[in-house]
Amino acid sequence: MEPIMAVVIGVIYAAAIYMMLRRSIVKLVIGLILISNAANLLIFTVAGMTRDAPPLIPMNGDPLGDVIADPLPQALVLTAIVIAFGVLSFAVVLIRRAYQIVRVDDMDQMKDTDT
């Protein structure tokens, strides 16, 4: 499973960076969404994928007995998803407002503040 995931994550990262390098601000946000998902998948995969072994210990069971999935990366991914959701919804609102004010969908036209 891990090799497949590694390839998938790599492809998502590559796609995200390609999208972010485009000039359109909409594609920029799509790139941001993809890259944050790629990071979540990366945490999930790197911490070890354990099938069919939820981190639940039965009543009176041995806490150190069987191999179980590590619950911590799941908590990390959950936190990261929530944060990414908040930040990305901000980014979507931002590009909408920016489009309303600047009236272009092209990063190359937005260089008033550059030097």
Binding positions for another protein, rule: CB under 8 A: 20, 25, 28, 32, 35-36, 38-40, 42-43, 46-48, 70, 72-73, 76, 79-80, 83, 86-87, 90-91, 94-95, 97-98, 101-102, 107, 110-115
- Give the residue with the Cβ less far from another protein, 14 or 97: 97
DSSP state of 108: G
In sequence order, what are the residues at sequence separation of 6 or more whose Cβ sits closer than 8 angstroms to the Cβ of residue 9?
38, 41, 42, 45
We find the least distance from the C-beta atom of residue 72 to another protein, in angstroms, to be 7
How far apart, in whole angstroms, are the C-alpha atoms of residue 5 and residue 25?
A: 29
| Pick from 62, 53, 17: nearest CA to 36 | 17
- Give the residue with the Cβ less far from another protein, 19 or 60: 19
Q: Which two tokens stand for residue 28?
A: 């920029």
- Give the residue with the Cβ less far from another protein, 48 or 54: 48
